[in-house]
Structure 1
Amino acid sequence: MKYSFKTVLSILTLAGFAFLTIHSFDANYLGNSIKKIFQHPVLLAAVLMVYFLSFCLKAAAWKLYLNGKAHFSTCLIGILYSLLINHLLPIKVGDLVRAKIASTREPMLKDDEAFHSVVVLRLLDMFCLVGIAMIGLWALKVQFRFPLWLLMISSFISLLVLFTVHHYAPIFLNKHIQLFKKAFSGKKGLFIIACTFLSWLLEAGILYGTVMMLQGDLSFLASVFANSVTIAGQVLQITPGGIGNYESFLVFALTLFGFPVKEGYTIAVVTHALKFVVSYIAGAVVLLLYPISFNTMKEWIKVRRVREK
């Protein structure tokens, strides 16, 4: 039921993107926007660097969570591999490879600990994104209400999953709760949360910078809010890099700040293209630094997905 619900929402989102493309795509307008981007090489380089630094902060948070069992380089390589794979495949399986890279490179780290850490930090990502979105709704006085039925369904599914795991795998659940408590105890936990939160602020820089280069008007706080809404919508990804997903959610977020749909659509396409460029360049670098064969990655994904069923 969970996957069927997600699939329906994903298809509806893609249908919305198709509608936007039919009514808002303008090759000349898009081409001129891309020319404007390259007329600001220094700002473009700064925007891409800030975006890359956001992943460095995510790697720092992961290293802290693993409590000294992994090096920063391992965490960064794993995250960049995950980024590349999620921009190549229609399903988000990059985290499986990310976790396996960590446990393979670090002898002190077990498979289940690596996968546990990735799941927890992904949940922390989502909490940060939702928190940023809530703060944005309040601070920016955005006129929008979440559908009550969506909140009820989400709460029901979350409680059902938690009850199922507690009933059928109490030892597994208790073990990972203890790992969670240990990781987030004291100042270290605050640093993990701070690094994760700041990483999403930096990631919003690519949207803020793109709008600036296109001579648009969007505050940094509004950029952070729009980016958070957009990334949260990526849970519905069924295309490489969330093509269609990303654009649909970002256009929706930008219209809340008065952007015409055509302008919002162009900003979304350009911004997403820049993210693809970074993911492929960073992916090429980590492939050279720590090459992994396609067959090995396929085996890691296959074995883990079978275990999760």
Structure 2
Amino acid sequence: MYRKISAIVIPTVIAVGIIVYMLYSVRDELLTAIQHIKPEYLLIAMLICLAAWWLRGWRYHAILKSLSYDVSVRFATACIFVSQTVNLVVPARLGDFVRVFILKHEYNTSYSEGVSSLVVERVFDIFTIALLGLISIFFVLNVPSEYLLLILIPLIAGMVFFVFLLFIGKFSSKNKYIAIILTMLHEIKKASLTLKSILVLGCSSIFIWLLDILVCVAVVLMFQQTISFAVIVLAIVIGNLVKAIPITPGGIGTYELSMAIVFGLDGVDPAIATLIAVIDHLIKNLVTLAGGIISIYSLGDWVIPSIKEAFNSKFGGGKQPDH
């Protein structure tokens, strides 16, 4: 019990602490910045965010289809909404496991297929944002060397992983657990390394993250700021790469802090940088939360037990899934 509580409370306290500190440090300038916003861009940002969510659902539909599961785009989008909503509440990206249980319930997928679909999605996401970040660096002055390192690590790791998948067919094992891992790697290869998959998932991933960047552009315009597109791209990239490290639920706090620091490279006032980062993440999280709640009701009352089952499996409070 205490393990479960501390696993949620401690990261949440860290997240809230970071946000409170950021806002408190620029408290005198916040009111002035808020008074000059153009609210129409808030609606634009939300519409762009919804479009990105639909495209994410379409991409996940394509991933599952390559694994021989023909799910609707609506169902695929709902799966992502639910899993990401859980990620806003609990640490360690536990919501990702919820998606595995939802797929098992509705389409009788194996647990390895569910996890494989998640891995494919994550690999394309991380590789794409790192690639966009690498391109943006050429257009931003005085980029700290640690940013380049943060971008290069997932790029190199992604390329090594794909090369490894090319040769996975040469490996086999009679060990139960190694055999499960090899099965998953074969499924990942099937879903990601055909020419069609590379084109479909690669192009859709680029569009998804460009839309995510445009949400931030709309927030920048809402505060009537002029920030170079390359800096906005770099801010989104660094924010998401840091958020990928599951320190706090949904990357809350670490995402905003990373973005605000990057905006400082373009001479953006700290108060404005903080507000843009906080509002950008708030919009995305509120759309996620609303979509998650609607999706839970849309999928049915069995979803909540699936969330509990995933939570128990993660923290050792329930049965561990078999392959």
- TM-score over 0.5 for the alignment? yes
Matches within 5 A, 1:91-130: 91-107=92-108, 109-130=109-130
Shift of 1:112: 1.5
Q: 1:177 aligns with which of 178, 182, 185?
A: 185
CA contact (8 A) 2:94 2:310 kept: no
Paired with 2:151 and 2:23, the residues of 1 have a C-alpha distance of 29
Paired with 1:87 and 1:142, the residues of 2 have a C-alpha distance of 33
Partner of 1:216: 225
Residue type of the alignment partner of 1:25: R
Residue type of the alignment partner of 1:297: I
Partner of 2:136: 136
Shift of 1:91: 4.0
Q: 2:60 aligns with which of 38, 50, 62?
A: 62
Partner of 1:203: 212
Residue type of the alignment partner of 1:30: L
CA contact (8 A) 2:101 2:306 kept: no
Query: SS where residue 59 of structure 2 aligns?
Result: helix
> TM-score, structure 1 length as denominator?
0.80
- Count of matched residue pairs: 290
Query: SS where residue 199 of structure 2 aligns?
Result: helix
CA 1:237–1:176 in 2, change beyond 3 Å: closer, same or farther?
closer
CA 1:92–1:217 in 2, change beyond 3 Å: closer, same or farther?
same
CA contact (8 A) 2:22 2:274 kept: yes
Paired with 1:257 and 1:277, the residues of 2 have a C-alpha distance of 28
5+ residue gaps, structure 1, are 1-8
> TM-score, structure 2 length as denominator?
0.76
CA contact (8 A) 2:90 2:249 kept: yes
Paired with 2:311 and 2:190, the residues of 1 have a C-alpha distance of 28
Query: SS where residue 227 of structure 2 aligns?
Result: coil
Which is further off, 280-289 or 110-119? 280-289
Paired with 2:268 and 2:249, the residues of 1 have a C-alpha distance of 26
Residue type of the alignment partner of 1:24: V
Query: SS where residue 146 of structure 1 aligns?
Result: helix
Deviations 1:215-239 (A, max 9, x none): 0012334322211111111123443
5+ residue gaps, structure 2, are 1-10, 165-171
Shift of 1:63: 1.4
CA 1:286–1:31 in 2, change beyond 3 Å: closer, same or farther?
farther
Paired with 1:154 and 1:232, the residues of 2 have a C-alpha distance of 9
Residue type of the alignment partner of 1:187: K
Identity %: 21
Query: SS where residue 217 of structure 1 aligns?
Result: coil
Paired with 2:148 and 2:235, the residues of 1 have a C-alpha distance of 21
Matched, 1:252 2:224: no
Partner of 2:307: 297
Query: SS where residue 218 of structure 1 aligns?
Result: coil
